[in-house]
Amino acid sequence: MSNINQERLVNHFIDIVKIDSESGNEKAIAEALAEQLGQIGFSVEKLPVPETLSNGFNIYAKLPGELDGSVALSCHMDTVTPGIGIEPVIDGDIISTAGETVLGGDDKSGIAAIMEAVRAIKADGKPHQTIELAFTVYEEGGLHGSQHYDMGKLESEDCIVFDSGGEIGTIITVAPGQQNMKVTIKGRPAHAGLAPEEGINALTVASDAIMNMKLSRIDEETTANIGVVKGGLATNIVMPELYIEAEARSLNDDKLAAQVAHMVSEFEAAAERHGAEIEIVSSRAYNAFRIEDNDPLVQKVMAAFDRNGISPFTAPTGGGSDANIFNGHGLKTINLSTGMAKVHTTEEFIKISDMVKITDFLYTYLTH
């Protein structure tokens, strides 16, 4: 096994989760990581993103290797809210928070693991394959940083994203595509007490549509959800307009298209029945991906886990990650668990032993 320095790994993780970096506010973390990567020998490029997206930047970094092979390693630098003033708490093997914020192990545990693995490899003087890093802004809430990543920088044909939970050894090889729908229903206002029959209630239209809609778990590959509803002026006014945001996801592109078409048609049919106007903006957030178990990248990752005495397994996920975007650009990408748990909640935690395991995996993978 490697000479991973657990204390250095944990200290670095603690240091970077204390840097506020909610989505869109990644300048401080990006600057810190760019400097640190330079100090451990990477050539570093700060890749601009639209100012409307973030005050920070995406990072490309490269460390040429002596062994054959090249791999891109990727994590996102942002956290969800509440992520300001994170106070990490260490209790035995567990790192959690004081309870007011998320921890930010999603996804700074991946960043810490990558950087400790490289530090250990260099300290041991071990030859390694060429390492490219793709650190992104604003992954949470839309994978925006990876959508703006300069893919021309990456020379590797394989990429590993470290942005999943579950047991160490979990290899995400299947992930859904997602379609977003923004729906505006325009009815007609009227006085709710004097002449309600003269109005068209936008909420009634929406209710009619939703009652006829297949939602939640559609099948083992497909889900759909109405997530945002905004409307209404006062109780004495028939609701003239309603705004809805909805999504559908599926591991199967045909099923996703069918579910979206079903939701759109139910909205349109309800609007027609009630004489309301409707506007629907439907856009693809990201595409599904599926990588076979016998793929050389998957096999090489499995071999590295096996060498370390960890039993790897492939699994699907219901969530999207930068892996969806990179696969969509033709860069073969899988997503590995870092052991992060209860992410996106104030109960988020990670085991130090799991952080060491994924760092050890990286050491083994990069030096073989």
H or E segment to which residue 274 belongs: helix 253-274
Q: What is the pLDDT of residues 277-307, one digit of tens each?
A: 999 999 999 999 999 999 999 999 999 999 9
The side-by-side arrangement of strands in the sheet containing 222-231 is: 216-219, 222-231, 241-250, 177-186, 277-286
Nearest to 325 by CA among 45, 58, 19: 58
Name the CATH code of domain 6-175+288-366 (choices 3.40.462.10, 1.10.530.10, 3.40.630.10, 3.30.70.360). 3.40.630.10
| CATH code 3.40.630.10 region(s) in the chain | 6-175+288-366
pLDDT in tens, 151-208: 999 999 999 999 999 999 999 999 999 999 999 999 999 999 999 999 999 999 999 9
Rounded distance between C-alpha atoms, residue 176 and residue 239, angstroms: 36
Q: What is the pLDDT of residue 2?
A: 66
Return residue ranges of the chain for CATH 3.30.70.360: 177-285
The pLDDT value given to residue 3: 83
Query: Residue 28 burial (CB < 10 Å; 0-12/13-18/19+)?
Result: middle
The rounded distance, in Å, linking the Cα atoms of 172 and 261 is 28
CA distance 17 to 348: 12
Q: Specify the CATH number for 177-285; select among 3.60.15.10, 3.30.70.360, 3.30.230.70, 3.40.50.970.
A: 3.30.70.360
Show the 3-state SS of 37-77: HHHCCCEEEEECCCCCCCCCCEEEEEECCCCCCEEEEEEEC
- β-pairing, 332-340 with 170-175? antiparallel
| Regions of the chain with pLDDT less than 50 | none
Global pTM reads 0.93
Q: What is the pLDDT of residue 201?
A: 98
Catalogue the active-site residues: 78, 139
